[in-house]
Each structure stands twice: as structure tokens, then as C-alpha cells.
Amino acid sequence: MVLWMIGLGLGDEGDISVKGLKAVQQSAYIYLEAYTSILPGLDKETLAAAYGVQEILEADRELVESGCEEMLERAKDQEVCFLVVGDPLCATTHTDLWLRARQREIPVRVIHNASVMNAVASCGLQLYRFGETVSIPFWQDGWRPDSWYDKILKNKRAGLHTLCLLDIKVKEQSVENLMRGRKIYEPPRFMTVRQALDQLMEVEKAKEMGVSTGLAFGLARLGREDQVIRAGPVEQLAEAEFGGPLHSLVICADDLHELEQEFAKHYQL
């Protein structure tokens, strides 16, 4: 019948659109994507109560990676909602779902919403001046990827800002539990501005291309009432308090426009 892909925006249960809420309330099954972009504090029970629906199912890592078979099967002859934090098509995982639904000739309706990709405008930097977005992953053991450094550098050289999305680890298994096939998950981890900047400063030490000089913005809980935005040089920003997740980071172009400077002053440490 129809698969609704509905963005929940950035903040809380009130960020769904009026149209999205209507679709939720008329659907037979409602799934909450709880794998790539969880919002701390926003669980399926809270949402169900706020939306006035009986039950919201969790689309966890297993369901999503196994292709959401059950969900697609149900969407063939019923209205099914897939709720995604942010915008439903901003993450690759979900564009894939869109494709598979279409291949089965299930109509898909997308309800867009705010995502960090546009709400980052809150820090006052001009959106059109952002270059390629990078993801900074948690380093672990011998695995210390740093290609994101080169991309930030490329943006900087082109006079562009860089939005850095920080790693989220949800429903990860320890190697031991994975080997033994035990579905025991580690507690979720969310990279902080501090951790991202520490990694940045380490790469800077090795590469010395000047990515960590100049202004950066740290953003926490963007779009929520308790959002925190701070601007400053990397070393100072690493010491700033941001509170709970989610955090993001912006590395600025070397020069700021006049209006951007005005904003930066408001957020300066």
C-alpha cells in the first residue's frame, strides 16, 4: 500500500511535522530507526505516548541490515511508517531502503525534516559556504583513519567550511560476544567535540598542514532547547563543556564573512 519514510527532525517528539504525525496515526505499523542516528532520551515509548499511538517497533541494526524484510512485506498491503531522526534520506542506509521498496513496486512517500546538514546554519556560518561533509570515526587499536583530515584541508584551501559528523556506536558487540554469537551489546557511545578535536590535533602533529589553526565551532544537541554552540580556537574548544550527546563540529574556512564574524562573537568562548 505505502511506505512512509518520515523525518523526526533534530529535537524532541514535537519536531515531527503535522503531516507526518497524521501519517503515523493512520498507519498499521510504525518502526523507529534506532541504529544510525538515535536521539538520546527519545525512546519508542515516549514517542508512542506523544503521538497517541499504541506501539512503535524498533528497527534496530539487525532489522535494517537484513533489509527490513518484515517491514517491506507489511507495506505491500498496509500503511507502514519508518521513522528516522533528522531527514529520512540523509543517510545511505535509508536511500537503500527507498530503492528496495520501489523495486517491489511499493509506493514510497518521504516526509522531509531538518537534519544537522541544514540546522548547522544555527552557528551563523553561511550554508552555501560548506564543502564536502566528513565523518570522524572513533579510532580503535591499530585502526586510525585520517582521510577526513585531508578533506577538511581541501575545503579550507577552497575557502569553505567543513561540517564534521561525529561517530556514534550503538548496539556494538565486543569481539568476544560477536565470536560467541551472544547478542549482548556494549553501551552506546557518542563521540564528543573533545574526542574529535583530540584526534584532529594528533593528525595535525603528524601532517602539519594547518587544519587545526583558526576557528572551529562545537555544537551539542542542535535544535533542542538545551543546545550549546561554542566557537573558538581548536585547543580552547577542546576544553569547553558541551554536556550530553549528540555533538558535531565545524572547522571554519580561514576567513569569515562579516555576518559570520558577528555570529561567532555571540558564541565565542
Angle CA 154–194–185, to nearest 5: 105
How many C-beta atoms lie closer than 10 Å to residue 201's C-beta? 14
Q: Which of residues 173-202 bind a copy of itself (CB under 8 A)?
A: none
Residue 256, preceding peptide bond in cis (omega within 30° of 0): no
Q: Residue 140: CB partners within 8 Å, gap ≥ 6?
A: none
Q: Are 249 and 217 in contact (CB under 8 A)?
A: yes
To the nearest whole angstrom, how small is the minimum distance from the Cβ of residue 184 to a copy of itself? 32
**Binding a copy of itself by CB under 8 A: which of 92, 105, 183, 187?**
92
Of the candidates 79, 246, 265, the one whose C-alpha atom is nearest the C-alpha of residue 170 is 246
Q: Does 112 bind a copy of itself (CB under 8 A)?
A: yes
Q: Give CA–CA dist 87/36, Å, rounded.
A: 12
Q: Which of residues 128-167 bind a copy of itself (CB under 8 A)?
A: 128-135, 154, 158, 160, 165
Q: Are 156 and 211 in contact (CB under 8 A)?
A: yes
Q: Does 96 bind a copy of itself (CB under 8 A)?
A: yes
**Binding a copy of itself by CB under 8 A: which of 46, 69, 266, 268?**
266
Q: Give CA–CA dist 154/158, Å, rounded.
A: 6
Residue 10 among known ligand-binding residues: yes
Residue 237 among known ligand-binding residues: no
What is the CA 248 to chain-centroid distance, rounded?
A: 9
Q: Does 71 bind a copy of itself (CB under 8 A)?
A: no
Q: Does 104 bind a copy of itself (CB under 8 A)?
A: no
Q: Does 262 bind a copy of itself (CB under 8 A)?
A: yes
- Residue 100 is classified by DSSP as H
Please say which residue, 238 or 247, places its beta carbon nearer to a copy of itself. Answer: 247
Binding site for a copy of itself (CB under 8 A): 7, 9-19, 21-22, 87, 89-90, 92, 95-96, 98-99, 102, 110-115, 117-119, 121-122, 124, 126-135, 154, 158, 160, 165, 223, 259, 262-263, 266
Residue positions in the annotated binding site for S-adenosyl-L-methionine? 10, 87, 115-116, 166, 222, 247
